[in-house]
Structure 1
Amino acid sequence: MNGKQINRIQTVQFAQLSEGAKSPGTGKELNTIEDVNLQLIVELGKTNMKVRDILRIKPGVIISVDKLAGEHVDVVINGSSVAEAEVVVVDEKFAIRITDIVSKQEREERMND
């Protein structure tokens, strides 16, 4: 054959899939990640400050942010805004009530800003 290798093409036969067939692991994917910890942040607002202003912060100092009182707050998971919420008080502790879930399209648009 003068040192050349000849590749032969062969047909492949697959077994028939039954009507109830599932791919391996189907139905258990969520169970395997339910205990994964994620960082959830409720973002009350943002502001930009100079280092000298940050160094002057003491108890009682008021820092203005870009949100108004009563305005919805952002719920951020692992750096991505996923929902909007309102701040509520439950048993004398602050909590949030989810009011809107951010769509996948909105999340992508916010990441591009």
Structure 2
Amino acid sequence: MADEETTPEEEVASSEGSSENDEALKENLEEVADAAEEVTQAAGEALSENPNANRTIDFIKEVPLAVTIEVGRSRMTIQDLLQLGQGSVVELTKLAGDPLDVYINGYCVARGEAVIVNEKFGLRVVEIIDPKDRIQALG
């Protein structure tokens, strides 16, 4: 656990880099929209080939899932936890730029990159975990 203070010069340098990040995030968002359209078209084609599949898929579409995007993890003592305050920095296990883990009902199923969508955080999926690897992780 460490507290960090930034100088005004560092804050300006940081904000200048953020505009470049915003542009990159907007480009990523466009890629996500294109990919979503392709997936929607592929799903529609698959359903048109098997009319009974539509009823089965409709049945499971409403099952709620808990989706968690994990930025990183940290371990600390209770003493360190009690010392946390506004402005405290908690160091995480992941490096900046590492993909974020996507958990569905507690199971890691994908990895992705953070994006901005309508001024909110979003995720661009960059890797789907192979089902065989997911099963091995359970054992």
RMSD, aligned CA: 1.3
Partner of 1:36: 63
2:114 maps to 1:87: yes
Q: Could you say which structure has the larger radius of gyration? A: 1
More helix by share: 2
Residues 35-71 of structure 1 show CA distances to partners (whole Å, capped at 9, x for unaligned) of 1111000000111111121122112111111111111
Structure with the greater relative contact order (CA < 8 A, sep ≥ 6): 1 or 2?
2
2:133 maps to 1:106: yes
Structure 2 portions without partners, runs of 5+: 1-51
Q: Residue 127 of structure 2 aligns to which amino acid in structure 1?
A: D
Sequence identity, in percent?
33
Number of corresponding residues: 87
Where do residues 1-113 of structure 1 align in structure 2 (5 Å cutoff)?
27=53, 28-112=55-139
Instruction: Give the 4+ runs in structure 1 shifted more than 4 A.
Output: none
Take 2:138 and 2:76, find their aligned partners in 1: how far apart are those partners? 23
